[in-house]
Amino acid sequence: MESSRDTSSPRPGAGSPPETRWLGRMSYQDALAAQERAVAALAQGSGPEVVFLLEHDPVYTIGRTRDHSSLGTPAFLPHPVVETNRGGQATYHGPGQLVGYPILDLSTRGRDLHLYLRSIEEGLILLCRQFGIGAGRAEGLTGVWVGERKIASIGVGVRKWITMHGFAINVGPDLSGFSAITPCGIAGVRMTSLSLESGGEISLESARDAAAEIFAGIFSRRVVESPS
């Protein structure tokens, strides 16, 4: 995870509910560029806090780490690989997966990265519950799980207390993109999705709408609190 200490005073207007923007399906590079623009605008006081929701074209990403073993042999992967400035090992993004990128000012939200990660987990757990799925945390691991199956991954970056990157929750039943890597560097992990766990097809649109409402509520808190 990329982070830095910033002793500057809170930015004017921070703490109000963030905007939610649906970007549709787009490449990882285009989404990263959108995040960079939003981070710069928020840092300069010329843009709002925002939560981007979207779906990616097929891609593998990995954080800034010397250990790329979770990618296996990149030359044999079926989709492109992008090294990016988030924390964590390799993961897969693609159609049927809902991705969320909150651009938030943590200088008004407690300046606590651990609490921020737990708040994202809280939102994803509530999202699963909305579709009748009992999800939770796994001790010592970041993300959201259904039993021993992982349904959502989290990897964030922080620049002068402004967040970028975020979460990905599997919605559709096709998880074949994960089979070529070791997801999040966890050997033997089984990935799952909202559709597989519910026993019926859940649309990306319904997951998107539920996520927008849930995270608007969570991130409207000036200081994110630990879930009970």
Q: Catalytic site residues?
A: 184
The residue among 205, 202, 206, 185 whose CA lies nearest residue 193 is: 202
Contact (Cβ atoms closer than 8 angstroms) between residue 144 and residue 169: yes
Tell me phi and psi for residue 157, to 5 degrees.
Answer: -130, 150
How many whole angstroms separate alpha carbon 202 and alpha carbon 214? 17
End-to-end CA distance of the chain: 25
List CB contacts of 12: < 8 A, sequence separation 6 or more.
45
How many whole angstroms separate alpha carbon 118 and alpha carbon 116? 5
List CB contacts of 21: < 8 A, sequence separation 6 or more.
50, 51, 52, 53
